[in-house]
Amino acid sequence: MAILIVSGSFAPIVKAEGQLNPISVHVNGSAVPMTATPYVDQGVTMVPFRAIFEALNLKIDWDKKSRTVTGWNAYTRIELKVGSLAAKVNGNQTMMQTPAEIKDGAVYVPLRFVGEETGNRVTWHAAARNIDIQAGNTMKGQVYTADGKGYSSGKHVQLLKLNGNELLSVAEAVTGPKGDFHFVGLENGSDYYVQGSWSENADIVTCAFKFRLSGNCAWLGSDDRHATVRVLSPDGNPIIDNEMGFDVSENGMVTSFMAQQQTEYVTDLLQDGRTYTITARLSQALSERYAIPASYTFTYHAGDKVKHEFVLANLPDAQVTGRLIDDTGKPIAGIRVSFSPKSGSSDHEAVVTKQDGSFSLRGLEKGHTYWFNVFVPIPKRWETGEPAIGDFMPPSLREFTYDGSPLAMGNVKLYRIQLIAKVVDGNGKPQSGLALLQDANGKNTGQSFFTGKGYVAAGGMTEGESYTWKVLIGDFVHNDGSTRVISTSESIYSFIFKPGLEAHTFTGN
């Protein structure tokens, strides 16, 4: 019996590259159609640049002269030069294992490098010869020196996430030898800020981005500023508010304003040996929640890097509340209101009415008597000519004694001018005086107000109703909320109100 042995009959069968199933690529579950066949070079999968760039939502540019391919969108930019291991990603230079190359007239790029450098996760499934790319949740960057030529290593960098108008700390990293850092766990569409940890690394310029939508904060610079300040919430979180501001004053006079850089405010206008005071100006939204922080005073010396944090404190409960409306019940926003002690002349800090006309006042002392003030903008024409129908009239002063309990003033009504009259003496010379409007029952109603010498206005009337308008014409002395008559004569006008009523003239003796 003969036995025939065939050499190698039990050896594994190995397919050549051309015999293997073609490589397939999926991006977020969708197959990427290839215009040319992908291949493996020294363990690196190479794919046509146009197909993968478009699948990653990158716009494309091919510079034939420099043989450079560029892909970009609102949050990333990548540049690869054929034959070069150096690539540029979001302004930072990095090295590849295999360069881009031209094969059979098509430009090929290393797939994993492009996928990962654009912030995605890249997975190789060997059995299926499939590469799966999924949107990632990481970001990376580098910190540079102030001149932009060197790296800032050993720096503490923070990632903060915007929540309302506060920034919540998410993570912290220390920069590597090339100023490099990276963060993981970011959420698509969320607003983030990257900055140096306060205050030792506050020279790193703060950067903002919306993850995978706009910006990337991959390139961070440094800047030596004379003074840098920021504002913290009562919980210690940085606050960002584009309507907030900071004044720099010297000897009680404002000399400059600090420039906003994201969450910080900076200035480079300080001079050696001078003493400065920095004062915060809170926005209306912040001033309704927080007390204005104390000013910060310091003496600047050349080479100093002044840093200060203004920590906000919650406002106490409001003592006086109310709502400003017009004579139709519509809320009036943007009008300043305040109170002042009856025994003094200085007003407490005014607040501005909100969109719904509401206001809240604080700082009153129990047992003290105050005037409530509404600062209605006075049209300039009142100084030289007659007022106009529809102008707001400043309300009469309202007096109250604060008993220590919350005071609800309810609706405070501002009347618009409905009727205008001239006030003159027997020779036609313009006069001043006091005015009073009464209804048919002799009850004081609406409002009457001298807008300037020679003119008086009335408002708060109802069409078709009867009114009596009384004007005392003469000389008066006003003192501490009281009025003393020197000499006067009375003029009376009775009428039924209707819009467009002809102007009246009050004549004194």
pLDDT along the chain (509 residues), means of 10: 36 48 90 91 92 94 95 95 96 93 94 93 90 92 93 96 96 96 94 95 94 94 93 96 95 95 95 97 89 95 96 92 93 92 69 91 90 86 80 86 93 93 89 90 92 88 95 69 65 94 88
CATH number of the domain located at residue range(s) 320-381+395-409 in this protein: 2.60.40.1120
| pLDDT given for residue 343 in this prediction | 75
| pLDDT given for residue 8 in this prediction | 38
CATH topology of domain 17-135: Copper Amine Oxidase; Chain A, domain 1 (3.30.457)
Amino acid at 468: T
DSSP sequence for 198-228: TTTTTTBPPEEEETTTB----EE-B---SEE
Q: 3-class SS at 113?
A: helix
Nearest alpha carbon to residue 506 among 435, 438, 400: 435
Q: 3-class SS at 248?
A: strand
Q: Rounded distance, CA 352 to CA 358, Å?
A: 9
- pTM equals 0.69
Q: Rounded distance, CA 36 to CA 49, Å?
A: 10
**CB of 120 within 8 A of CB of 56?**
yes
Q: Please report where in the chains the tokens 């009959």 appear, as a residue.
A: 9
**CB of 79 within 8 A of CB of 68?**
yes
Q: Rounded distance, CA 319 to CA 365, Å?
A: 10
**CB of 51 within 8 A of CB of 45?**
no
| pLDDT given for residue 452 in this prediction | 77
Same topology, domains 17-135 and 320-381+395-409? Answer is no
Here the tokens at position 469 are: 């308008």
Phi-psi region for residue 262, left (φ > 0), alpha (ψ -120 to 50) or beta?
A: left
| pLDDT given for residue 476 in this prediction | 59
**CB of 310 within 8 A of CB of 302?**
no
Q: Name every residue whose Cβ is closer than 8 Å to that of residue 30 and which is 6 or more positions away in sequence.
A: 55
Per-residue model confidence as pLDDT tens digits over 100-144 = 999 999 999 999 999 999 989 999 998 888 999 998 899 999 999
| pLDDT given for residue 208 in this prediction | 96
Per-residue model confidence as pLDDT tens digits over 140-198 = 999 999 998 899 999 999 999 999 999 999 999 999 999 999 999 999 999 999 999 99
Here the tokens at position 314 are: 């919650």
Q: Rounded distance, CA 305 to CA 376, Å?
A: 44
Q: Rounded distance, CA 39 to CA 239, Å?
A: 51
Here the tokens at position 494 are: 């009775």
Q: Rounded distance, CA 415 to CA 454, Å?
A: 20
Q: 3-class SS at 111?
A: helix
CATH number of the domain located at residue range(s) 139-224 in this protein: 2.60.40.1120
Sheet containing strand 30-31, edge to edge, reads: 30-31, 24-27, 130-135, 120-125
| pLDDT given for residue 15 in this prediction | 45
Domain ranges of the chain: 17-135, 139-224, 245-314, 320-381+395-409, 419-507
CB atoms within 10 A of CB 395: 17
Q: Rounded distance, CA 30 to CA 397, Å?
A: 72
Q: Which residues pair with 210 in a beta bridge?
A: 191, 214
Q: 3-class SS at 18?
A: helix
**CB of 125 within 8 A of CB of 154?**
no
CATH topology of domain 419-507: Immunoglobulin-like (2.60.40)
CB atoms within 10 A of CB 290: 20
| pLDDT given for residue 219 in this prediction | 94
DSSP sequence for 352-376: E--TTSEEEE----TT-EEEEEEEP
DSSP sequence for 16-66: -GGGSPPPEEEETTEE---SS--EEETTEEEEEHHHHHHHTT-EEEEETTT
